């Protein structure tokens, strides 16, 4: 009985290290908190490494714009792309089972991305709808 006890304690520390190592990135960066949040909402359906790879590949395509976005826009985008990954997995399962599966029009995703980009730009200045006489106008700066 004493021989079995040291074996259990010596193998216990190895298991958490093996589990923690693959899920943690080697170099944490500014994108990681958003990936972690998206993973928390979909952890039962997608692996952390798979989600990390998918999101980083998409964010990499517009890295300069990503840096200028607000945190809420970044969060919305990562959740939208997580939903897209889950949709692809669902389609693969349905097709694998022999069921017909039609993907929806991607224009909704295009519209959301365009909307997110518009919210990050400063709107142009507009002139008043009522035309004032020149003496009452203030210079527009």
**How sure is the predictor about 136, in pLDDT bands with cuts at 50, 70 and 90?**
confident
Average pLDDT, the chain: 74
Give me the pLDDT at residue 103, please. Answer: 65
pTM for this one?
Answer: 0.52
| DSSP secondary structure, the chain, as one string | -TTHHHHHHHHTTHHHHHHHHHHS-SS--TTHHHHHHHHHHHTTTS-HHHHHHHHHHHHHTTHHHHHHS-HHHHHHHHHHHHHHHHHHHHHHHHHHTT----PPPTHHHHHHHHHHHHHTSPPPP---SSPPPTTTPPPP-
> What is the distance between the alpha carbons of residues 8 and 4, in angstroms, rounded to a whole number?
7
> What is the distance between the alpha carbons of residues 51 and 78, in angstroms, rounded to a whole number?
10
Residues 6+ apart with CB under 8 A from 56: 31, 35
- Cα 76 to the chain's mean position, in Å? 7
Give me the pLDDT at residue 106, please. Answer: 67
Give me the pLDDT at residue 4, please. Answer: 43
**CB distance 106 to 63 below 8 Å:** no
- Tokens 């190592």 correspond to 21
- Domain spans, the chain: 28-96
pLDDT tens-digit map of 97-121? 888 777 666 677 788 778 877 877 7
> What is the distance between the alpha carbons of residues 118 and 70, in angstroms, rounded to a whole number?
12
Give me the pLDDT at residue 62, please. Answer: 85
């Amino acid at each position: 009985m004493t021989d079995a006890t040291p074996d259990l304690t010596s193998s216990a520390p190895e298991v958490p290290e093996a589990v923690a190592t693959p899920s943690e990135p080697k170099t944490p960066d500014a994108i990681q908190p958003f990936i972690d949040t998206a993973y928390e909402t979909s952890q039962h359906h997608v692996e952390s490494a798979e989600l990390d790879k998918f999101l980083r590949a998409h964010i990499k395509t517009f890295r300069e714009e990503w840096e200028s976005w607000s945190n809420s826009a970044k969060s919305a985008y990562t959740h939208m792309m997580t939903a897209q990954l889950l949709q692809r997995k669902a389609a693969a399962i349905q097709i694998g089972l022999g069921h017909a599966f039609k993907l929806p029009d991607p224009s909704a995703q295009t519209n959301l991305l365009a909307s997110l980009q518009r919210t990050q730009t400063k709107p142009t200045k507009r002139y008043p709808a009522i035309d004032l006489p020149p003496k009452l106008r203030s210079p527009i700066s």
